[in-house]
A and B are shown apart, each in its own frame.
Chain A
Amino acid sequence: MISWPNLVSQLFNGLALGALLALISSGLTIIYGTLGVLNLAHGAMFMIGGYAGFVAYQYTESFIIAVIAGSLFVMLLGVAMERVIIRHFYHRPHEDQLLVTFGLGICFVEIIRLIFSSQSQLVPPPAIFQGITNLGFMFYPTYRLAVVGIVAIALGALFIILYRTRLGMIVRAGIEDSVMVDSLGINVYRVFMVVFGIGAMAAGFAGIVNAPVVSLTPGIGDDILVQTFVVVVIGGVGSFPGAILGGLIAGEIISVTSMFNPGYAYVMLFAAMTLVLVVRPHGLLGVQGRE
């Protein structure tokens, strides 16, 4: 039997979950859309963002500095990864890219495990966002409410970069036809480096912002990677609006299914993905993208 307060609670929770998934997925999809690289180390980037922020928090006890440090560290890591390894794989088969990024993800996880062990690490939310807020129809953790707002701002910023700046224009043009962009005298490979950095930063930012919600462990990115891929497939590989739509859909499916039978939450998520793939092979808002 449906309990309306519970349904509304779960719908709202689905929104909060979905917002986070949308942010992580947007990073993944920007990288794929522009560079044609399916980055299986994206979950590890999310995890490293959390740990880098955790270290910064240990020294400064400032959550804002933790967020900045976590995001920047992962952005630099992304740029370094692109320059040193990924750029050699742009013209290689997808399988090679998948294997190399998967391997990098494993290396990152093991390095973090070596440094921090498997024990959980805690990053508390900033003092102003601690406690629980009464929304009238439900009580909800204040920090999770804040996360929805923070993620919305971050997605807005990404949108502006992609759709209202010259860099964004080049990136979007690069998605359509990188050869043409190159022939116009624009160094697409430098753009690619920046894109990889921005995509990685989205994951790192999500990792540290999400850290107070979960407890950090080296394997935290493994779970999120699977969900992120489902989101990207539902929304459309390479589509930024698709990542947001897919994230929200995935969040709602997980939450609402959990109200009836939590055990089927992932079953329903994958069923939805399959349905989308059957009806719209390129995802709900997908574009053809690079071949």
Chain B
Amino acid sequence: MTDQLIRRGLSRRGLLQTTAGLIGGSVLPAMPAFAEDKPIGSYPAGVSGSTAFIGISVPRTGTYAVQGEDELKGYQLAIEHINSGHDLIKKISPKTSKGVLGKELKFGVADSAAKPNEAVQAQQRFISENKAIMITGGTSSAVAVALNKLAQREKVIFVCGISGSNDTTGKDCVRYGFRQNFFGQTAAAAIGPVMVREFGKGKKAAYLTPDYTYGHTVTKSMQDFLATAGWTTVTNQVAPLGAPDYSSYLLNVANSGADVLINVNWGHDAVLSTQQAKQFGVLDKMKLVVPYQVPFIARETGGLMQGVYAATDYWWTIEDKFPLAKMFNEAFEKKYGYKPEWGAENAYVSFAHWAHMCEQAGSFNPPDVIKAYEKGETLPSLVGDVHYRPEDHQCVRPVLIVKGKQQKDMKNKEDWYDVVEIVPGEGLMQKPDAFGCHPGDYS
């Protein structure tokens, strides 16, 4: 065959290239990276050069703006670490040297204002114009659910940002979406026993619920769990996202005879409603619980979280137990000047895991990356080892229960919480089919 090729006028260089190609071809079955290289979504157009583009949408205005900015800082730090081959990234994604698969990460940021339509428009633009190879963002489950659908339609991987609704990896799950933080129901399963232990059985609960998928599923999850301990719901006050005043809702709560106020609100809504609950004397009458903790709520309410229990993804003081958390806190604080909250942690780790999966797949080809996730490999995170379930792409990870510290016990101005428990995710997590997840196709 070699003679024939040479006779057809192939150069020496061409011969070497052909031979190399044949050798490469013989090992193809062992390398899933090159198994299916036909175009899909923004692949391979998005990574044909020396860079790979990521579309980020976070709320920079509106009721979730503070949390969105924190999340964005987590993304930016992760990208910086990935591009420079930082030691922390290497602990999570050992094959990462500089960039992902040698491609430098570039990114664009859009303000979603926590509105699904704005997030979808921005991400659609990133996919069409910038050939984004991955999209990310969140801080509202309504946004997460909308981006899930966009990702599945466009065949671009969506690494979900903050989203606590059961629906995100439940009934609205998709093949192209992955979530690192847990279900609202997982939070309920983690904090419920603590509440029963602290406050007793057969209590009356009042709820403040934001009127969208996150609020309804967290409230339902809390109600379901606490019913097993004989708790009843005396009132459930459902308010629109970004309500300017909670006085009317709080009067209903104050007159409800509840023992415990369960504030499911998030972002500035949680801050405002908690402050106003104090103004109306509600917090003097009943205990407050924030089942899904809100980043910055302790500092923004000026100490109203003292003695209050909450379930959360991350609190910086766990750095005593987890070396990676310490590395993260130090890098984050050095760059931004404050201790990271869980929005930043969630963003950073989700990115690091995506980088790991691309490196494992040896390709940006979405079906290959998805299949790498679906191996369910045990991965390091800032809160110990975790894994993604193949069935619903939900990360199985521990839940932290925190309790607000009294001011006199605070060792520094950011020492807002005691970590009461770190509950392993395995025992808390609902079954993959519990919320009706049916992910779509790979292609």
Q: How far is the CB of B256 from chain A (nearest CB, A)?
A: 9
A151–B299 Cα distance when bound, in Å, is 30
Which of A29-37, A48-56, A65-73, A210-218 lies at the interface?
A: A210-218
Q: How far is the CB of A261 from chain B (nearest CB, A)?
A: 8
Interface centre among A117, A220, A262 (most CB of B within 10 A): A262
* B239 interfacial by beta-carbon distance below 8 Å: yes
* A183 interfacial by beta-carbon distance below 8 Å: no
A117–B65 Cα distance when bound, in Å, is 9
Shortest Cβ distance from A224 into B: residue: B244
Known: A117-B69, A262-B239. A214 touches B244 (CB 8 A): yes
* A144 interfacial by beta-carbon distance below 8 Å: yes
A109–B111 Cα distance when bound, in Å, is 15
The listed residue (B65, B249, B272) touching A262 by CB distance below 8 A is B249
A223–B296 Cα distance when bound, in Å, is 22
Render B227-267 as a binary contact track against A, CB cut-off 8 A, 1 for contact: 00000000001111011110111011011000000000000
Which of B76-84, B193-201, B273-281, B419-427 lies at the interface?
A: B273-281
Shortest Cβ distance from B69 into A: residue: A118
Question: What B residues does A217 contact at CB under 8 A?
Answer: 65, 268
The listed residue (B211, B255, B302) touching A263 by CB distance below 8 A is B211
The listed residue (B239, B245, B281) touching A139 by CB distance below 8 A is B281
* B50 interfacial by beta-carbon distance below 8 Å: no
Question: What A residues does B279 contact at CB under 8 A?
Answer: 132, 141, 143-144, 213
Taking a contact as CB atoms under 8 Å apart, the answer to whether B238 and A263 are in contact is yes
A173–B443 Cα distance when bound, in Å, is 71
Q: How large is the interface on B (under 10, 10 to 19, 20 to 34, 35 or more residues)?
A: 35 or more
* A266 interfacial by beta-carbon distance below 8 Å: yes
CB contacts between A and B, total, < 8 Å: 105
Taking a contact as CB atoms under 8 Å apart, the answer to whether B300 and A214 are in contact is no
Known: A139-B280, A139-B281, A215-B271. A144 touches B247 (CB 8 A): yes
* B376 interfacial by beta-carbon distance below 8 Å: no
Q: How far is the CB of B249 from chain A (nearest CB, A)?
A: 5
A118–B302 Cα distance when bound, in Å, is 16
Taking a contact as CB atoms under 8 Å apart, the answer to whether A13 and B249 are in contact is no
Shortest Cβ distance from A3 into B: residue: B255
The listed residue (B248, B272, B299) touching A259 by CB distance below 8 A is B248
Question: What A residues does B60 contact at CB under 8 A?
Answer: 118
Taking a contact as CB atoms under 8 Å apart, the answer to whether B65 and A16 are in contact is no
A16–B244 Cα distance when bound, in Å, is 14
Taking a contact as CB atoms under 8 Å apart, the answer to whether B244 and A13 are in contact is no
Shortest Cβ distance from B65 into A: residue: A118
* A122 interfacial by beta-carbon distance below 8 Å: yes
Q: How far is the CB of A21 from chain B (nearest CB, A)?
A: 10
Taking a contact as CB atoms under 8 Å apart, the answer to whether A263 and B240 are in contact is yes
Shortest Cβ distance from B62 into A: residue: A219
Q: How far is the CB of A194 from chain B (nearest CB, A)?
A: 30
Question: What B residues does A224 contact at CB under 8 A?
Answer: 244
A109–B211 Cα distance when bound, in Å, is 26
A14–B280 Cα distance when bound, in Å, is 15
Taking a contact as CB atoms under 8 Å apart, the answer to whether B296 and A258 are in contact is no
Interface centre among B238, B247, B271, B281 (most CB of A within 10 A): B247
Question: What A residues does B249 contact at CB under 8 A?
Answer: 258, 262
* A227 interfacial by beta-carbon distance below 8 Å: yes
A14–B254 Cα distance when bound, in Å, is 16
Shortest Cβ distance from B281 into A: residue: A132
* A5 interfacial by beta-carbon distance below 8 Å: yes
Question: What B residues does A16 contact at CB under 8 A?
Answer: 247
A218–B244 Cα distance when bound, in Å, is 12
Render A123-156 as a binary contact track against B, CB cut-off 8 A, 1 for contact: 0000000001000001111011000000000000
A262–B269 Cα distance when bound, in Å, is 15
* B146 interfacial by beta-carbon distance below 8 Å: no
Taking a contact as CB atoms under 8 Å apart, the answer to whether A259 and B252 are in contact is yes
Taking a contact as CB atoms under 8 Å apart, the answer to whether B248 and A122 are in contact is no
* B117 interfacial by beta-carbon distance below 8 Å: no
Q: How far is the CB of B418 from chain A (nearest CB, A)?
A: 23
Question: What A residues does B105 contact at CB under 8 A?
Answer: none
Render B201-241 as a binary contact track against A, CB cut-off 8 A, 1 for contact: 00000000001000000000000000000000000011110
Other than the given A213-B245, A219-B63, 6 more pairs (CB < 8 A) read A6-B255, A141-B281, A214-B244, A219-B62, A223-B243, A258-B251
| 4 nearest CB pairs, A to B | A258-B248, A118-B65, A223-B244, A141-B279
Give me 12 A-to-B residue pairs in the complex whose CB atoms sit less than 8 angstroms apart, sorted by A's number.
A6-B251, A6-B252, A6-B255, A13-B247, A117-B66, A140-B280, A141-B280, A213-B245, A219-B63, A220-B244, A227-B244, A258-B248
